[in-house]
Amino acid sequence: MFVVVKSFNIFSASHSLFLFFKIKKNVLRKICLFVFLFVLFLNWGYSQIIKKTLELTVCESSNDSLDLANIHQYFVDSLGYYFFSSLTDSLMQESDEIEFVGFELYDEWDSLQIHYPRFDFKTKMDTSYLPLVCTTAPYFHPVQGVITSSFGWRRSRFHYGIDLNLNTGDTVYNAFRGVVRVTKRSKSYGNVVVVRHDNGLETLYAHLHRIHVSSGDTINEGQSIGLGGNTGRSRGSHLHFEIRYLGAAICPLNIIDFKEYKLVSDTLAISKNTFDYLNKISSVQADSKNAKWIVVRRGDTLSHLASRHRTSVRNIQQINRLKGTMIREGQRLRVH
């Protein structure tokens, strides 16, 4: 049916225009002009019907790009008009953006602060599934170096990222398509870049020797962020790499296979359990606020200290990780 309409339209439009300029009689010229306008109207009507059909299909199968590709091909094959082809192309682009709603999650764009205010994930009751990549925006591994320090506790401090070994001057690559939010020199991070990605994540690249991007730059996966280095609070050249979602760090090992240099999965499940470690940090911080420290004097024993500070020997041993009862003069101990 579409082929018939297409042939009819092309034939009618070209011939009515041709006749309009050839025929001298006024009445016939008017008829030709009418036919030409009628064909234009017919084209417009069909375009509206197709636009509606495609919009419905995009909504119903937003996750199925294969269906869209078939629909696109069907209309292009059937009608062959540039107009329809550009319309469906733009809708197909929209279908990618339907999956990637990253920028809509954030209500502000701050190019100065490294960390976006953290969302309270304790209030999150459901599980969200975040698509990380699509065919036009895959993943690219930032640095192919071994892990020298992982996500988690490092003595009394929490390490919110992962450290990857590199040599100063090695190129550091952007992981996902996005826009550079922050580039600055920080006391702890050194030269640091934060990128907000289409998929909703933010990645952070620290201790860089040189920065190759500026805030506001749109960058693709695999594009150079800068050169790896040893700036800021760092002992030896390495990349400190963080992945954050709405201000909260996620263990990169949950997302990336650092041996195979690829994603663990194309989708990331996010629930309040993803951020359980934050509760642990809060309780440790609250605990350390109430902490009481003393310095051991000559002649002090653990039982003396326990009775003086109304606690038990066992408690002092536990919070100070003491294996026996030996303590020495001048030693700093926590008694509460």
d(Cα 98, Cα 209) in Å, to the nearest integer?
37
Residue 291 to residue 287: CA distance in whole angstroms: 6
Query: What's the min distance (Å) between Cβ of 177 and Zn ion?
Result: 24
Regarding 240 and contact with Zn ion (CB under 5 A), the answer is yes
**What tokens were used for 91?**
């809708």
Min dist CB 294 to Zn ion, Å, is 33
Residue from 99, 163, 198, 221 in contact with Zn ion (CB under 5 A)? 163
Site for Zn ion in 283-312 (CB under 5 A): none
- The type of residue at 104 is E
Q: What DSSP element (H or E) covers 211?
A: strand 201-211
- Near Zn ion by CB under 5 A, which window of 31-39, 40-48, 173-181, 235-243? 235-243
Asked if 198 contacts 130 with a C-beta cutoff of 8 angstroms, the reply is no
Rounded to a whole number of angstroms, the minimum distance from the CB of residue 240 to Zn ion is 3
How far is 216 from 67, CA to CA, in rounded Å? 34
Cβ distance to Zn ion smaller for residue 72 or 207: 207
Give the bridge partners for 268, in sequence order.
130
Q: Both tokens of residue 223?
A: 């594009």
Least distance to Zn ion, CB of residue 149, Å = 6
Q: Where does this chain touch Zn ion (CB under 5 A) — which range of 53-61, 156-164, 209-217, 255-263?
A: 156-164
- Single-letter amino acid, residue 183: T
Q: Which is nearer to Zn ion, 163 or 202 (CB)?
A: 163
Residue 260 beta carbon to Zn ion: minimum distance, rounded to whole angstroms: 21
Name the residue number minimizing CB distance to Zn ion.
240
Query: Bridge partners of 179?
Result: 196, 218
3-class DSSP assignment, residue 206: strand
Stretch that binds Zn ion, among 22-30, 42-50, 102-110, 161-169 (CB under 5 A): 161-169
**CA-CA distance, 168 to 216, in Å (whole number)?**
26
**226 contacts 191 by C-beta, under 8 angstroms:** yes
Q: Does the footprint of Zn ion cover residue 181 (CB under 5 A)? A: no
Q: CB-side exposure of 137: number of CA atoms within 13 Å?
A: 20
What's the closest the beta carbon of residue 237 comes to Zn ion, in angstroms?
Answer: 12
Does the footprint of Zn ion cover residue 196 (CB under 5 A)?
Answer: no
242 binds Zn ion (CB under 5 A): no
| Size of the residue set binding Zn ion (CB under 5 A) | 3
Query: How far, in Å, CA of 104 to CA of 120, rounded?
Result: 17
Minimum Å gap between C-beta 159 and Zn ion is: 6
Whether residue 213 contacts residue 172, with contact meaning beta carbons closer than 8 Å, is answered with: no
- Residue 120 C-beta: closest distance to Zn ion, Å: 25
- Residue 24 or 157: the one with the smaller Cβ distance to Zn ion is 157
- Residue closer to Zn ion (CB basis): 72 or 240: 240
Residue closer to Zn ion (CB basis): 71 or 162: 162
Contact residues for Zn ion, defined by CB under 5 A: 161, 163, 240
